[in-house]
Amino acid sequence: NLTGWWENDLGSKMQVFNVDNDGTFSGEYHTAVSSAKKPIQPSPLIGSQHLDEDGQCTFGFTVNWKKFSDSTAVFVGECFKGDDGKEVLHTSWLLREKVDSEPDDWKATR
């Protein structure tokens, strides 16, 4: 399962605390990149993984950057085992930033 520390190519890290029997998990995301003006802080995450016997689980989680930004991100992905036996996560993400008005909605999601 996803329990433990994970690090991406940009140096961001996440820690998944514990995966319940139903696949629900929580943790913290320590991003290494941000456009926010406030100092970066660890942010809470909550998610769910599809528990599978072959180790290639799919998962999704939400990160609330509330400690330093007015944005929220969602990630979806799958866990793979490489030829070297090392587990690697492949993810896609969307980041939603707060905008001041509905006409600015077009630029709020990356």
Provide the pLDDT for residue 83.
87
pLDDT at residue 43 tops 70? yes
Provide the pLDDT for residue 89.
93
Q: What number is the average pLDDT over the span 34-52?
A: 87
Provide the pLDDT for residue 66.
87
Q: Which domain holds residue 23?
A: 4-102
Residue 108 lies in a domain: no
Domain at 27, CATH number: 2.40.128.30
Question: CA-to-CA distance for 58 and 78, rounded, in angstroms?
Answer: 4
Residue 109 lies in a domain: no
Q: What number is the average pLDDT over the span 23-45?
A: 89
Residue 110 lies in a domain: no
* Nearest residue to 92 via CA among 52, 60, 50: 60
